Structure 1
Amino acid sequence: MSETVFTYAAPGLKFGPGASAEIGHDLAALGVRRVLLVTDPGVAATGHPARIAEQLERHGLTVTTYDAARVEPTDASLADAIAFARDAGPLDAVVAVGGGSAIDTAKAVNLLTTNPGELMDYVNPPVGGGRAPSRPLLPLVAVPTTTGTGSESTTICVLDVLAQHVKTGISHPALRPTHAVVDPDLTLTQPPMVTAAAGMDILCHALESYTARWFADFDAKQPEERVPYCGANPIADLWSERAMSLLAGAFRATVRDGSDRGAREQMALAATFAGLGFGNAGVHVPHACAYPIAGRVRDFRPADYPGDEPIVPHGMAVSLTAPAAFRFTFAAAPERHLRAARLLDPGCSGEGPETLPDVLVDLMRDVGLPRGLAEVGYAEADVPDLVEGTLKQQRLLATAPREVTAEDLAGIVGASLENW
């Protein structure tokens, strides 16, 4: 029997220049008094978290700041943040200021300061125990400073499990932020490569949710069996289509001129819309491939990212296999792939499986992303290892519009060593 029900959920949303100046008012109205503010060193250096903390205090709130969130969180970095929060004493709310890394760190802190057990108890199987929260979480206000991750809208906390060299996540509806405060002015300090990588994350969120397996093509589920990613559906489609239209006009302009406030606002809207779409429909092959690509990096250090440790930023990792992945999924829904290509490039006239990959390659090249996996340090000999890591992401692969085998993944990863 086929599924007949799809679900939709979203945080409360406040959007617009200056929105971040109203968080103290909003939390005080909820009776909140003790707040943990979570951010990372790079964002802390911009002064945004300190300004937000100051206006929270002006509304009578006591603020403790954790400013050591790691870009691309690991189980170790999350454990450090959780220990800090537990030592900080009773809390009434958590505020995350930063990109997806800070917001995901705040989600983990919120979960493990309100529920028993340790981090790995809650990580998705087969990597972790897959435990569901048993107690309510605190209000979480997510304030993104990058335009891309959509973490302010989603139920997912992404992390690297260091001992297993794999990127995975914790996924449960309780992790979704209570409020998303999207202030485009906070993204003006986002440098070009961060803008490019995060922008590709927006794009893949929209594309993957738009081309995901249709919700009614899944087997029927009981209410307690339904997961946050329910497959493509009519409501998620609206958000994804609008996100792609906004990207078509703003993405290249924002990377070229980060001071363009109009383009920054359009990118912030696109990120929000894409998050509202994929946070319910789900993502599939490019995101599944991205986890081992980011988790097994050896020595790649991209421009504009802080620190000396090698990383492949999440949005970059997602983008590198996207052309090959959408070439593979084309046969499952040709009309959707072609519609997406025309939304991203209104002048596009192709009709075949190369149409969307060609649009993606042109965009990736224009915003300065690496040519493929080879440029971030992988070779043909790494393909089996990357496939093995991707196969662990069954939560994501289940949402793909067609079945994905190890052989299929080897073809996608191998073709992505060089995209042009």
Structure 2
Amino acid sequence: MVSAVRIAPNRAMRAMNLLRTVQYTHPPSCPCHGNPSHHHHQPSLSLISQTKSNLQRNYATPIDLSRQKEYAFEMAASSIRFGPGVTKEVGMDFKNMGSKRVCVVTDKTVRGLDVMRQVEEGLGREGVEFVVYDGCRVEPKDSSIKEAIAFAKPYQPDAFLAVGGGSVIDTAKLMNLYTCYPDADFLDFVNAPLGKGLPITKALKPLIAVPTTAGTGSETTGTAIFDLVSKRVKTGIAHRNLKPTLGICDPMNTRTMPSAVHASSGLDVLCHSLESWTAIPYFERIPRPSNPILRPAYQGSNPISDIFSLQALRSTVKYLPRAVKDPEDHEAQSQMLLAATLAGVGFGNAGVHLCHGMSYPISGQNPGYQHAGYAVDAPIIPHGVSVAVSAPAVFRFTGSSNPERHLQAAEAFGVDISNVKLESSGEVLAEALEKFLAGLGDQPKGLKDLGFKREHIDDLVEGTIPQARVLMLAPGLSEELNEEREQLRALFEDAMEH
């Protein structure tokens, strides 16, 4: 956008409008060639450049580079191996990479499961030295991450292996990062404004991820999330260099999940797919990076992510209720693991927005809720629950930003959209979500069921505002702070019960 307006002549205003058109088209192009139905002659790029120069010199209207919109998107995802029984190949993978010292990262629950037996036998069979760290915390805190890093640094592994859910995989990513950057301050890479948000400028050690839950998609992404306790919010680190080298997705490994974990992890898949599908388009994101290394991992919806996100949504709607209801429905469990991976590729490049942004203070400010089915002796709001509890309110709010997309999402839930008016798209999707969540059984029906009261809303709002990395992708959210605060307050009020 133009930062100042001192142009009176209509001629100058028309020229500036032309510059904006060229600058913000998707992708940048000549307006004539960008619009097949437009047959009038348009000024050449040299004339536009000359006009821009003259305007800046004569009318004091410099282009505000911080408002330039993006013009490109990148796709990054881990290599994925999917199939029942592929866990046994992991020892060969490390031998093929020439790894000599592997740090195996897990938690105490997974340590006792068959997947860890397979991993240890596989590494031993190939003669790969390894050490096991099983101190990972479910829904990790910055303190548990630092303890894990302190374990890894003196061992100096040349590769990492994460075996567990998203919490384990995210912990392993950060062990890898800070072992490779031993002198870095912990907040150096943490997402701004809570941290410095520095880019990761070098390749890390190889990391193989073996997910044992079907939810986070962390085996595909460059994102690691944790509680920053001092700020009472979740935050994280996001960069392409964090992503695992390989994700080994073995459906046999998710069969040990309790029904409650199937449900809550599946809700994460649901919101990953819905949020990345409805995020602002990548060409609307600002600012355009001055260097490709500064292009964020979360870029906005784009044509490739859309394919993964929509398919993940359709699979989740079809298979999650089955996986929750019947622990012997191995087809549904396998399809949910695949859906989690698909959604990971989708949101790992497009990003998420309000459900996740609001979930971070919901988890960080837990008033004492403890979710059934989780083997932890402490209050816990599982991540999938914290994102889904606001979903009906969120998509009711975002519907007007792109009604067609919201109706396509509603159609994935089985809604007949043939006679639905565009202005009703948000409400229709919200109702479909409420019905779906109710069908999963014992799920919180709003923030009230988690123990939150209306007097908590202001703190929840203030905990959401710093989540700039995801809020910037939220359609319809104001850039003006006071208005944004009021919008978030209304969203939390709407999410109190549904």
C-alpha contact (below 8 Å) 1:247/1:344 kept by paired residues: no
Partner in structure 1 of residue 401 of structure 2: 332
CA displacement at 1:166 relative to structure 2: 1.3
Structure 1 position 151 matched with structure 2 position 218: yes
Where 2:103 maps in the other structure, the secondary structure is: strand
Find the aligned partners of 1:118 and 1:56 in 2 and give their Cα distance: 33
Aligned counterparts, 1:224-303, within 5 A: 224-303=293-372
C-alpha contact (below 8 Å) 1:324/1:357 kept by paired residues: yes
Find the aligned partners of 1:118 and 1:33 in 2 and give their Cα distance: 28
Q: 1:5 to 1:49 in 2, by over 3 A?
A: same
C-alpha contact (below 8 Å) 1:6/1:215 kept by paired residues: yes
Partner in structure 1 of residue 392 of structure 2: 323
Unaligned runs of 5+ in 2: 1-22, 25-69, 479-483
Structure 1 position 359 matched with structure 2 position 442: no
Instruction: Kindly provide the amino acid, as one letter, of the partner of residue 163 in structure 2.
Output: V
Instruction: Kindly provide the amino acid, as one letter, of the partner of residue 342 in structure 1.
Output: E
Aligned counterparts, 1:9-408, within 5 A: 9-87=76-154, 89-115=155-181, 116-219=183-286, 220-222=288-290, 223-345=292-414, 350-351=420-421, 352=424, 353-367=426-440, 368-404=442-478, 405-408=484-487
CA displacement at 1:307 relative to structure 2: 1.5
Where 1:229 maps in the other structure, the secondary structure is: coil
Instruction: Kindly provide the amino acid, as one letter, of the partner of residue 221 in structure 1.
Output: P
- 1:266-302 Cα deviation digits (max 9, x unpaired): 1011101000100000000000000000011121111
C-alpha contact (below 8 Å) 2:298/2:349 kept by paired residues: yes
Partner in structure 2 of residue 411 of structure 1: 490
Size of the aligned set, in residue pairs, is 418
C-alpha contact (below 8 Å) 1:37/1:53 kept by paired residues: no
Find the aligned partners of 2:315 and 2:145 in 1 and give their Cα distance: 34
Instruction: Kindly provide the amino acid, as one letter, of the partner of residue 8 in structure 1.
Output: M
Instruction: Kindly provide the amino acid, as one letter, of the partner of residue 230 in structure 1.
Output: Q
TM-score, structure 1 length as denominator?
0.97
CA displacement at 1:348 relative to structure 2: 6.3
- 1:216-240 Cα deviation digits (max 9, x unpaired): 1224333233111111000000001
CA displacement at 1:123 relative to structure 2: 1.1
Moved more, 323-332 or 113-122: 113-122
CA displacement at 1:247 relative to structure 2: 1.3
Find the aligned partners of 1:73 and 1:51 in 2 and give their Cα distance: 25
CA displacement at 1:33 relative to structure 2: 1.6
CA displacement at 1:136 relative to structure 2: 2.5
Where 2:112 maps in the other structure, the secondary structure is: helix
Q: Percent identity?
A: 43
Find the aligned partners of 1:146 and 1:163 in 2 and give their Cα distance: 29
Find the aligned partners of 2:71 and 2:198 in 1 and give their Cα distance: 27
TM-score, structure 2 length as denominator?
0.82
Find the aligned partners of 1:80 and 1:47 in 2 and give their Cα distance: 26
Higher relative contact order (CA 8 A, sep 6+): 1
Instruction: Kindly provide the amino acid, as one letter, of the partner of residue 451 in structure 2.
Output: G
CA displacement at 1:134 relative to structure 2: 4.0
CA displacement at 1:345 relative to structure 2: 2.3
Find the aligned partners of 1:363 and 1:80 in 2 and give their Cα distance: 39
- 1:34-58 Cα deviation digits (max 9, x unpaired): 1111111122232322321221111
- 1:67-93 Cα deviation digits (max 9, x unpaired): 110000111000110111113x22111
Find the aligned partners of 1:380 and 1:298 in 2 and give their Cα distance: 12
CA RMSD in angstroms comes to 1.3
Instruction: Kindly provide the amino acid, as one letter, of the partner of residue 358 in structure 1.
Output: E
Find the aligned partners of 1:151 and 1:315 in 2 and give their Cα distance: 13
Find the aligned partners of 2:384 and 2:130 in 1 and give their Cα distance: 31
Instruction: Kindly provide the amino acid, as one letter, of the partner of residue 77 in structure 1.
Output: S
Find the aligned partners of 1:225 and 1:78 in 2 and give their Cα distance: 25
CA displacement at 1:347 relative to structure 2: 5.2
C-alpha contact (below 8 Å) 2:312/2:342 kept by paired residues: yes
Where 1:127 maps in the other structure, the secondary structure is: coil
Q: 1:348 to 1:300 in 2, by over 3 A?
A: farther
Q: Larger C-alpha radius of gyration, 1 or 2?
A: 2
C-alpha contact (below 8 Å) 1:214/1:401 kept by paired residues: no
Instruction: Kindly provide the amino acid, as one letter, of the partner of residue 106 in structure 1.
Output: A
Instruction: Kindly provide the amino acid, as one letter, of the partner of residue 91 in structure 1.
Output: P
Unaligned runs of 5+ in 1: none
Find the aligned partners of 1:230 and 1:164 in 2 and give their Cα distance: 26
Moved more, 386-395 or 118-127: 118-127
